Amino acid sequence: MRLHIIAVGFGRGTPEAALTENFVGRSSQMGKRMGIPAVLCEEIAVSKDRDVKKRKADEAERLEKRVPDGAHIILLDAKGKGMTSEDFAEMLGALRDAGTKDLAFVIGGPDGLAPLPRKRAGRSLAFGPQTWPHLLVRAMLSEQIYRALTILAGHPYHRA
């Protein structure tokens, strides 16, 4: 199962991007031994439309184009449901074991995320009720992916 983090906004040169790259790299290495051959992070530009609704719709349209056909989609949204790290690992393992080819995590821009026009999300995930900076959400998600893989592998990184 390939994991895709697809997000609005560019993080090049930021501390958050460095942290994301670190955990994506660690996840890619660990995942190769666990039926997860790739962990990819893709970015699209923030829409320049002046109207918020149009801006979110434009971003959703472009995000959707990056989601592989047939992918299981998880939206990152403050209104989503929270999960423990163990539950997150269990979900990843179950999707992998069920033969899911691609799992796409979709992160909106500064104004939030409109529904993807033609693709339906499997769930909406929140990292608590707070609103987090979108670059930080990428770093947090990439760390949770790495943590989930270590849980599935029985690695001592997760000490709960």
Q: How confident is the model over 9-38, as pLDDT tens digits?
A: 999 999 999 999 999 999 999 999 999 999
Tokens of 95: 């999707």
CB count within 10 Å of CB 43 equals 18
Kindly state the average pLDDT of the residues 70-99: 95
Q: How far is Cα 25 from Cα 157, in angstroms, rounded to an integer?
A: 15
Q: How far is Cα 43 from Cα 5, in angstroms, rounded to an integer?
A: 8
Delimit the domains of the chain by residue range. Answer: 2-153
CATH top class, domain 2-153: alpha beta
**DSSP, residue by residue, 80-134:** EE---HHHHHHHHHHHHHTT--EEEEEE-BTTB-PPPSS---SEEE-SSSS---H
pLDDT digits (tens, 9 = 90+) for 119-147: 989 899 999 988 889 999 999 999 999 99
Kindly state the average pLDDT of the residues 94-120: 94
